[in-house]
């Protein structure tokens, strides 16, 4: 993770993701959705690097499916484009709503790509370890265990192929898969026992146990948190006052004009905050390098 945004205090990172995910799910204004999708894609690209293309190859078919399903099941709207062989109408409004649902799904998934890169397990435990110790530990261990399990499964499967190159056919494939599952499950159980012994030896669960953390809330974190809270409050005010209201049935319409542009600009600044922060950090770094 090369983003400077990830080096901010975990509370700042959590606040940002809660705001953008909430607005991505509940705001349906086209301008807001488009701004959120673009910012989420740029941030996910920065977080995932070369793996972004592979993830998009899986996400785009899901978005297309979400866009296509709605006109097939919903026939509301006043603008009829054509009729299906069953006699049901395909309306412009249902198509637009399907596109909106696809954009909403894609934006949420892209933000979660950034979440996985920024909100590491140590940050999650730091934030919720004292409030919900058991839940935070379980979630952090689960988030850490799933990638390890997938990586170990690939390693074992590759080793089985190299150990028995003569095996061919679907029956041999089933036997190989059974051996892979057996080995991986055994490894997972042994790893769980080792983890439990390690936690017990370190005194986990004892009363008045302290925890060490490298995170410190600095003035920079306070400024960033204040900026996020201000922008989030502006967007929330615009939503509550109807400045970002939008509907698709029976005909598309909603807030427009200067007022909607102001609320949309505030949301764009909020969604682009990590990109702006990283750009500022890069400019400061280049300026310091030029002076030396």
Residue 116, token pair as written in the block = 């996985």
List C-alpha distances in Å: 25 to 104, 279, 287. 6, 27, 39
Specify the pTM. Answer: 0.77
For the stretch 201-242, pLDDT in tens is 767 666 666 666 778 889 999 999 999 999 999 999 988 988
Length of the chain measured in residues: 292
The percent of residues above 70 in pLDDT, for the chain, comes to 89
Model pLDDT, residue 233: 94
- pLDDT at residue 96 is higher than 60: yes
Residue with tokens 């690209």: 45
């Amino acid at each position: 993770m090369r983003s400077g945004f990830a080096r901010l205090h975990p509370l700042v990172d959590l606040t940002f993701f809660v705001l953008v995910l909430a607005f991505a799910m509940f705001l349906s204004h086209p301008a807001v959705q488009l701004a959120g999708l673009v910012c989420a894609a740029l941030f996910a690209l920065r977080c995932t690097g070369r793996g972004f293309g592979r993830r998009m190859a899986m996400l785009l078919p899901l978005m297309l499916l979400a866009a296509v399903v709605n006109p097939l099941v919903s026939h509301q709207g006043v603008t009829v484009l054509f009729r299906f062989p069953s006699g049901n109408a395909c309306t412009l409004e249902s198509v637009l709503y399907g596109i909106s649902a696809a954009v909403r799904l894609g934006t949420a998934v892209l933000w979660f790509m950034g979440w996985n890169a920024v909100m590491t397990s140590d940050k999650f435990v730091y934030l919720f370890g004292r409030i919900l110790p058991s839940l935070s530990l379980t979630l952090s261990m689960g988030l850490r265990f799933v990638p390890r399990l997938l990586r170990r499964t690939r390693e074992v499967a590759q080793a089985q192929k190299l150990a028995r190159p003569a095996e061919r056919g679907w029956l041999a494939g089933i036997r190989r898969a059974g051996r892979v599952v057996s080995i991986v499950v055994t490894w997972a159980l042994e790893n769980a026992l080792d983890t439990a012994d390690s936690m017990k030896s370190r005194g986990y669960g004892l009363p008045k146990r302290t925890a060490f953390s490298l995170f410190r809330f600095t003035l920079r974190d306070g400024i960033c948190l204040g900026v996020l809270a201000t922008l989030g409050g502006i967007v929330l005010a615009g939503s509550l006052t109807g400045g970002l209201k939008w509907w698709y049935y029976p005909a598309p319409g909603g807030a427009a004009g200067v007022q909607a542009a102001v609320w949309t600009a505030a949301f764009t600044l909020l969604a682009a905050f990590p990109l702006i922060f990283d750009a500022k950090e890069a400019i400061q770094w280049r300026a310091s390098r030029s002076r030396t």
